[in-house]
Amino acid sequence: MDDVLARLEQLRGDDLPVHSGRTLAYVYDSGMPELDRLAAAAVGAFAATNGLDPTAFPSLLRMENDLVAFGLRLLTAPEGAVGTVTSGGTESVLLAVQGARDAFPHVSRPSMVVPDTVHAAFHKAAHYFGVEARVVPTGSDFRADVATTAAACDESTVLVVGSAPSYAHGVVDPITDLAALAAERGIRCHVDACIGGWVLPYAARLGRAVPAWDFAVPGVTSISVDLHKYGYAPKGASLLLHRDSAVRRPQLFAWADWPGYTMLNSTMQSTRSGGPVAGAWAVLQQVGDAGYERLSDQALRATDAVVAAVEAQPALRVVAAPDSTLVAFTTDETCDPFTLVDEMTERGWYVQPQMRFRDQPATVHVSVSAATLAHVEGFTAALAESVAAAVQAGPVQVDPEVAAVVGLLDPATLDDAAFDGLLAAAGLVSESADADGLSLPTRRAEINALLDLAAPPLREAVMRAFLDRLSRPTPP
Ligand SMILES: *Cc1c(COP(=O)(O)O)cnc(C)c1O
C-alpha cells in the first residue's frame, strides 16, 4: 500500500503546486496547512457515501443545508430562498440555464442574453440545452452594456446573465440595471459569482467599494458561487442559490416510469460522492465568517500588491481596476506576453495566458489567493525579472507563411491527418515525445503565439484535436 501511495506522490510531482501561493490560476490557497489536512480527512471519511438518496445519507442533507444557509446569509437572500450544492461552477451554471429554459415551457426556441465576457460555461449550457446565447459586446470598461442587453431581449428571452466578477477581467457587471430589465420583462436574471461571490461580501465589509450585485438587488433570481474557489474548499463543490423555491422547481428531476427505484435528483449527477460536501462543510466550520473575512482581506491586499507590481512595469498595463481578486494585464510591443508567462513559469510562478479576443490583445491573468500575500515581494521581483527577460528575448516570431496558412484554414474542412500535421507544426506532438506521442514543452510562447493568430473556431478545433490525442489509454 505504501508503494501505491508513493507512486501517487511521484505522479503528483509533475503537477502544478497547489499550496505554494505561487500558482495563480486553477487553485485557491488559504495558506493554512491544517485546513488542508482537515479537508482531506473529511473528504476521505465521506468518499464512499452517496448523495443520490438524501434519506439514506441524512448527514449529507444536513451538511448541504448548512452550506446553503451560510451562502444565503452571506449573499443577503430573503426569507424563503433556497439552494443546491453542485459539483462545481459549471454544473451550477448549467442548471441555472436549464432551470430558466424549463421555467418558460411555452417558449419554443429560448434564448439568453449574455455579455461577451460571460464564462464559457454558459456557451456549454447553450450547446447542451439548445438555448441560444445572444452575446452582447461589453463596453470599454469591460462591463455588460445595459442598453444593448435590453435591445437583445425579445419574446424568446428567458434569462439575462451578469458576472460578479467576470473571470477574464475581474470586474462586476451592472447587476442592478441588468436585474431590473429582466424583472420588467418577467424573465430570470442569473448572477455568475462563481469566482467572486465568496470575496465580494467581505470586501464590502472591509470598506472596499463594491457595486450591488447579490440578492439585495431586486430582480436577481439566482446566483452561482463556488465553494472550491474562494471558499477554499477541496474541489467538487459549488452553490446554486435561488431567490425562492419556485425558481428552483424546474431543476428538480424525478423519474418513476422505469422498473427501478424512483429517481429523484436536484443536480445533474445522480450517484454523487459525499466527499466534496463533507470537505466543504468541514472547511466552512473551521474557517467561519470571521476567518473568511481575514482570508478575503489577505487576498485583496495581495491583489493590491499585484496591481502595484504590474503598474511599476512601464511595459505592462492593468486592463481594468479589479473589483475583487482577479487581475488581467497587457504588455506593450516591447514585451511578448507569452514569453513573459514562460519566464514567470521558470521562476516558479504560474500565471495564465489569455488569447486575443475581438479587437483586444492577449492578456495575462492572475487569480490571487490569501496565501499569495506572504509572497508578494517574490512575485514583484519575478515579474520584474520576467519582463526584462521577455524584452531581451524580443517578440516571438511566427513564420509569416505559417501565419498566412493559419489565417486561411477553415476547421470544417480539416481531417484527422491535417490535425496531426497542425499539432506537429505547433510543437504539441513530436517524434521525440514519450511513448504516448505527446510532448508538453514547458516553454510554450511559440505555441501560444501561433494559437493566438488563429480565429476562435480554429483554436477550438485544434485544442479538441489535441485533447483527443492526449486522452488515450496508457500503453501496457
Ligand atoms: C470558475 C468559473 C466558472 C466555472 O466553474 P468551474 O468550477 O470551473 O466549473 C464559472 N464562472 C466563473 C466566473 C468562474 O470563474
Q: Is the CB of 68 under 6 A from ligand 1?
A: no
**Residue of 24, 87, 90, 117 to mutate, ligand 1, most atoms within 8 A of C-beta:** 90
Q: Which three cell numbers stand for residue 415?
A: 481531417
Spell out the residues 6+ positions from residue 415 whose beta carbon is closer than 8 angstroms to its own: none
Query: Residue 192: its pLDDT value, please?
Result: 98
Query: Residue 434: its pLDDT value, please?
Result: 53
How close is the Cα of 192 to the center of ligand 1, in Å? 8
Q: Which three cell numbers stand for residue 75?
A: 449573499
Query: Residue 439: its pLDDT value, please?
Result: 61
Reported confidence tier of residue 470, pLDDT bands at 50, 70, 90: confident
How many Å apart are CA 131 and CA 111, to the nearest integer? 5
Alpha helices, H only, 159-199: 175-185
Overall pTM surpassing 0.85 (yes/no): yes
Reported confidence tier of residue 189, pLDDT bands at 50, 70, 90: very high
How close is the Cα of 257 to the center of ligand 1, in Å? 35
How close is the Cα of 4 to the center of ligand 1, in Å? 33
- Does residue 431 have a pLDDT over 70? no
Q: Are 332 and 395 in contact (CB under 8 A)?
A: no
Query: Residue 437: its pLDDT value, please?
Result: 54
- Does residue 411 have a pLDDT over 60? yes
Query: Residue 19: its pLDDT value, please?
Result: 86
Q: Is the CB of 87 under 6 A from ligand 1?
A: no
How close is the Cα of 87 to the center of ligand 1, in Å? 11
- Tell me how far apart the terminal alpha carbons of the chain are, to the nearest angstrom: 21
Spell out the residues 6+ positions from residue 249 whose beta carbon is closer than 8 angstroms to its own: none
Q: Is the CB of 190 under 6 A from ligand 1?
A: no
Query: Residue 262: its pLDDT value, please?
Result: 93
State whether the Cα torsion 301-302-307-312 is positive or negative: positive
Q: Is the peptide bond before 165 cis (omega within 30 degrees of 0)?
A: yes
How close is the Cα of 228 to the center of ligand 1, in Å? 10
Which of these, 128, 134, 164, lies nearest to 148 by C-alpha position? 134
What is the pLDDT averaged over residues 65-76?
Answer: 98
Q: Is the CB of 331 under 6 A from ligand 1?
A: no
Residues shown for the chain: 476
Nearest protein CA to atom 5 of ligand 1, as residue:
89
Quick: pLDDT tens for 196-235.
Answer: 999 999 999 999 999 999 999 999 999 999 999 999 999 9
Query: Residue 304: its pLDDT value, please?
Result: 98
How many Å apart are CA 301 and CA 174, to the nearest integer? 24
- Check residues 7 and 425 and name the one with the higher pLDDT: 7
Quick: pLDDT tens for 291-339.
Answer: 999 999 999 999 999 999 999 999 999 999 999 999 999 999 999 999 9
Q: Is the CB of 195 under 6 A from ligand 1?
A: yes
Q: Are 191 and 175 in contact (CB under 8 A)?
A: yes
**Residue of 85, 118, 119 to mutate, ligand 1, most atoms within 8 A of C-beta:** 119
How close is the Cα of 93 to the center of ligand 1, in Å? 8
Q: Is the CB of 272 under 6 A from ligand 1?
A: no
Nearest protein CA to atom 4 of ligand 1, as residue:
89
By DSSP bridging, strand 111-115 and strand 253-255 are: unpaired
Q: Are 82 and 248 in contact (CB under 8 A)?
A: yes
By DSSP bridging, strand 363-367 and strand 326-331 are: antiparallel
- Does residue 432 have a pLDDT over 80? no
How close is the Cα of 276 to the center of ligand 1, in Å? 16
Reported confidence tier of residue 418, pLDDT bands at 50, 70, 90: confident
- Three-state SS string over 105-118 comes to CCCCCCEEEEECCC
- Check residues 278 and 431 and name the one with the higher pLDDT: 278
List of domains in the chain: 33-284 (3.40.640.10), 297-393 (3.90.1150.10), 400-470 (no CATH)
Q: Is the CB of 163 under 6 A from ligand 1?
A: yes
Query: Residue 210: its pLDDT value, please?
Result: 97
Q: Is the CB of 92 under 6 A from ligand 1?
A: no
DSSP 292-319: HHHHHHHHHHHHHHHHHHHHT-TTEEES
Reported confidence tier of residue 254, pLDDT bands at 50, 70, 90: very high
- Does residue 239 have a pLDDT over 70? yes
Mean pLDDT of the residues in the chain? 94
- Does residue 175 have a pLDDT over 90? yes
Quick: pLDDT tens for 328-370.
Answer: 999 999 999 999 999 999 999 999 999 999 999 999 999 999 9
DSSP 372-425: GGGGHHHHHHHHHHHHHHHHHH-PPPPPHHHHHHHHH--GGG--HHHHHHHHHH
Reported confidence tier of residue 443, pLDDT bands at 50, 70, 90: confident
Say if residue 383 is exposed, middle or buried (CB neighbours under 10 Å; 0-12, 13-18, 19+).
Answer: buried
